[in-house]
Amino acid sequence: MTVVDLVLICAVVSLAAALAGAAFIAHRMAGDRRSQSLLLEDDPTATTFIVERAAVVETTGPARDYVAQLGEGRVSYRGLAGHLGRLFPDFSRTMLEMPRLKSATLTSQDRSSALQLRNEGSCVRLSLVSAETDVVTLDRGAHASLGAELESLRALGDAMAYAAWRQGPQGTVTWVNRAYLALVEGVSESPATAWPPHRVFPCLDPDEGDIQRLSLTDPDGGERWFDCHLSRVGADLFVTALPVDALVRAETSLSESIQAFSRTFAQLTVGIAFFDRDRKLVMFNPALTDLTTLPIDLLLSRPGLDSFLDALRSRNMMPEPKDYSSWRDHVLNVERAASDGTYCELWHLAGERTFRVTGRPQPDGAFALLVEDISAEVGLTRRFRSEIATTRAALDALPDAVAVFDEIGTLVLTNTAYDTLWGVDTESTLTQITARDALGDWMAKSEPHPCWTELRNHMLRGAEARDWTATIVTTAGTPLKLTFGSLPNAMTMVRFTPAAPPQRRARITPLRGAAEVAARLKA
């Protein structure tokens, strides 16, 4: 190869490189002219975006202002696509089909705006226009008003103390407030900056009602409860989640208290029937059926007070009135007295059964009837009274006068012989008789005797009690045997027993004076 050949080869290579560089420069200049021509074809006042390969390559001035009002620092396709996706639900699917569709028009959910999409080579033109008129034109005043309103709504949403969000028909979260993001960080491992955010309530079902109570589990295993309030916004849902942990704890505590009350209520031996303000039976316990023998189905039918009392009357579980008119008056009296809390009666039934029925007023005009079987108590009281009467009759039959004093020196028991001996009426006196009073009466009606001093020491000065006796004589000349004795519970008894009169000694008359005595007697 000669030098000439080498020179020719170098010249050809240089010429090819120059031609390639010129072609590349021409292609870039053509692309720039094409982008400029795309924008020049549009109205500079229109809100237009040129998108190429998932990037915004050109925007008009109103388009840049529009993005700035959304809070974006720079025009990015991700932020623009997220916003347009919320306004136009079919935006993402339509962008994928643009190579086939060439052009399309989407209408916003509120029917106020439209988005025109046109395929221009490798670019897609997005024009935001009004659905009624044509291209959306926004002056600076309108932008400022929209910006102020947007900032106010953002501030209100972030100031809310509870989580709020908006989700689409498929459950995709499209808007959240600051409290929702904090909730995401607290209950999930997903970062709060991810978009769309994590769904913290995936089981939320709009068909279950407008208010749903749901729970979340913290990473540490704790359970948090929320009342979710659902509101329809077109096809979307606006949800607010109010924390109700304190309310759930209170309801749980109340439920446990009611269960404990129900168990205690069921174990009571006193029958209880609650009547509401309309005098309908609303609650009863098992003891009521056991005492009254009323069938369960009758009580469960919520009978009125008159029907309830009629059922008791038909089963002879309450006293039989003289006639029906007095029975109706009796029902009204029961209702009135029970409402006032003054009703309390003893129902004496056949078979020596006795019920104590008491009325207790309840809030809001309701009242309760308490039925208590006191047959055993009444029978025991009757036996006690019989024994007391028998003991008193036996005491009154004694010839001895008996007086019993309690530990503080009050006269508590005497018999008929005592009242007769000392001329008093201890049964009908209204005042208490003390040991001092009784001792004064005895001393006033008896001859002086040393035993009164000792009796005073025992009864009034608390001297050590011991049993002793003495013989006294009343002012009427009746000799009495006084017996002092101690009884259980620091009580004392003083008994006065009639004593035989002292026998007179026979006088022996000398024989020498017998004739003289006989003569005097004859004279």
**pLDDT class of 129 with cuts at 50, 70, 90:** confident
pLDDT at 9: 57
What's phi and psi for 166, nearest 5 deg? -125, 135
What is the pLDDT at residue 86? 85
Give the residue range(s) of CATH 3.30.450.20 domains in the chain. 160-247, 268-378, 398-498
| Fold annotation for 268-378 | Beta-Lactamase (3.30.450)
What lies within 8 Å, CB to CB, of 371 at 6+ separation is: 270, 271, 272, 273, 288, 291, 292, 355, 356, 357
Handedness of CA 34, 75, 66, 104 (dihedral sign): positive
> E strands of 177-324, at which residues?
211-217, 223-233, 236-243, 271-275, 281-284
Better-predicted residue by pLDDT, 514 or 106: 106
8 Å CB contact between 374 and 355 = yes
Q: Are 162 and 240 in contact (CB under 8 A)?
A: yes
Between CA 18 and CA 10 the distance in angstroms is 12
Mean pLDDT for the stretch of residues 407-413: 89
Confirm if 64 and 75 have CB atoms less than 8 A apart: yes
The topology under which CATH files domain 398-498 is Beta-Lactamase (3.30.450)
CA distance 45 to 61: 7
> What is the per-residue pLDDT for 518?
58
pLDDT in tens, 59-92: 888 888 887 776 665 678 888 888 888 888 888 8
- Reply yes or no on domain 160-247 having CATH 3.30.980.10: no
> What is the mean pLDDT of the segment spanning 97-105?
87
| Burial of 302 per CB tally in 10 Å (0-12, 13-18, 19+) | middle
- DSSP letters, 283-317, are EE-HHHHHHH---HHHHHT--BHHHHHHHHHHTT-
CATH hierarchy code of domain 39-141: 3.30.450
Q: Please, which pLDDT band fits residue 46 given cuts at 50, 70 and 90? A: confident
